[in-house]
Structure 1
Amino acid sequence: MDILVTMSTSERPRKRGRQAEAARNDRRLLAAAREVFTSQGADAPVSAVAERAGVGIATLYRRYGTKEELLQKLTVSAAEQYSEAARTALAAEDPWEGLAGYVRECVDFGPGSLAPIAGTVRFTPEMAEAGRVSDRLADEVVARAHAAGVLRADATTIDVFLVIEQFSRRPPVPTPADAHARERLVALVLDGLRARPDNTDFPLPGRPPSAERYDELWRRD
């Protein structure tokens, strides 16, 4: 009995070590997948992902049985980071600073750089749930800013999403000058989104973008 207990106890650190290593490999794989697929498109080979991550191709396939599974997980991971940014925004004392911080954080994260894989993978229940949570939290961030009178009344959540998507697309070889220019342009757009205290907002042209149309771009059932 003592031998069995000792063996079981000694096995725990090894198991935790393997789990920690697997988690590190997964983070490296997802980061590498983002870099590869955003620069080369959804047709990029998974071998390029493994090479970029510094792991063997067998390690990649042990974690993700197919390339589509990897792309699906990458999409879920993006939605989860959106959600985390929204939670941070909702915790901010100032509704405008919360919204502006949400936009900046999401632009820095770069969800728009995933545009090359939009609509190329089957939509899974996990993707749908991650998207629902992300959308709900983003709606709360926007509604809070509207209620405080700091966001122009005709700006919608989809407007905010489209701003983030446009500014978070990355050039093939980004430079510090690119990042600086992006920060300036984001600041200009945020100034345009902010409600004017004298109610002199100019009317926006056309109808607000459709949430249904936006969703169609990102899903393939």
Structure 2
Amino acid sequence: MARRAEAERNDRALLEAAREVIAVDGAHTSVASIAARAGVGIGSLYRRYSSKTALFQHLVELALDQWTEIAEQSLADDDPWNGLVHYISSAVGSGSLAPLAGMVTFTDAMTEKNTRSDKAFEALIDRAHRAGVLRRDVTAVDVLLLVEQLSKSPLIEHLQQQGRDDLLDAARNAQRRVIAIAVAGLRPSDQPMPGAQPTMDLFTERWTTS
């Protein structure tokens, strides 16, 4: 029991560390950098995972579980708008593994978890549309792209690289304001959206490994 609890703590630390490192290093992210950020020994990491690919596949599974949990929590809110805002805010706060796209082969377990996550999220979007709180021409893909864009803060990353901890709280507050401004744009409006609606291919195709 204690060993399982320790493994779960390590998983959470690894996922958080991976998102932080990947946000800066992208496709050049190393296992050593993730291990160092998470405070986990590189040797113990490789004893648990046979390769960098195996580690990244596990991290994607953890992220998908987390996104599903966020969507289900959001659906539990009786207010469709508040539920949607909760999803976006929580998803932005959790970060993204999107830079791993194309580097990781999807396993059956990853596909199953991705399907469950998509269903919960699509139910959230459908509910917001039916309640009339989300503009009709905003799709699930639009919201996912918004989350991905808002998850990265060049200002916060720059300050962290400079070691300017004295400015981080102000930068995070500024980020929350930007998120609120962006989310307000999802409300119904007579102003049409530009261009054609994006399709889910934008997400699925980039995860296809060559």
TM-score, normalised by the number of residues in structure 2: 0.86
Spell out the pairing of 1:48-197 with structure 2 (5 A cutoff). Answer: 48-111=33-96, 114-171=97-154, 172=157, 173-174=159-160, 175-195=168-188
| Equivalent residue letter for 2:145 | L
Are the structure 2 counterparts of residues 47 and 134 from structure 1 closer, same or farther at C-alpha, using a change threshold of 3 Å? same
TM-score, normalised by the number of residues in structure 1: 0.82
What are the ranges of 5 or more consecutive residues in structure 2 without an aligned counterpart? 161-167
CA distance in 2, matches of 1:79, 1:48: 22
Are the structure 2 counterparts of residues 123 and 192 from structure 1 closer, same or farther at C-alpha, using a change threshold of 3 Å? same
Name 1:43's counterpart in structure 2. 28
1:42 aligns to what SS in structure 2? helix
CA distance in 1, matches of 2:36, 2:192: 50
**2:84 touches 2:124 (CA, 8 Å); kept in 1?**
yes
CA distance in 2, matches of 1:217, 1:26: 25
Runs of 4 or more consecutive aligned structure 1 residues displaced over 4 Å after TM superposition: none
| Equivalent residue letter for 1:119 | G
CA distance in 2, matches of 1:190, 1:45: 34
Are the structure 2 counterparts of residues 93 and 115 from structure 1 closer, same or farther at C-alpha, using a change threshold of 3 Å? same
| Equivalent residue letter for 1:207 | A
* Aligned residue-pair number: 200
- Structure 1 or 2, whichever has the larger Rg, is 1
1:215 is aligned to 2:204? yes
Q: Kindly state the Cα deviation for residue 209 of structure 1 after the two structures are TM-superposed.
A: 0.4
Q: Kindly state the Cα deviation for residue 189 of structure 1 after the two structures are TM-superposed.
A: 1.8
2:132 aligns to what SS in structure 1? coil
Are the structure 2 counterparts of residues 39 and 19 from structure 1 closer, same or farther at C-alpha, using a change threshold of 3 Å? same
2:28 aligns to what SS in structure 1? coil
| Equivalent residue letter for 2:71 | A
| Equivalent residue letter for 1:68 | T
Q: Kindly state the Cα deviation for residue 29 of structure 1 after the two structures are TM-superposed.
A: 2.7
| Equivalent residue letter for 2:186 | L
Q: Kindly state the Cα deviation for residue 28 of structure 1 after the two structures are TM-superposed.
A: 2.5
What are the ranges of 5 or more consecutive residues in structure 1 without an aligned counterpart? 1-15
Q: Kindly state the Cα deviation for residue 99 of structure 1 after the two structures are TM-superposed.
A: 0.7
Are the structure 2 counterparts of residues 143 and 73 from structure 1 closer, same or farther at C-alpha, using a change threshold of 3 Å? same
Are the structure 2 counterparts of residues 30 and 108 from structure 1 closer, same or farther at C-alpha, using a change threshold of 3 Å? closer
Q: Percent identity?
A: 46
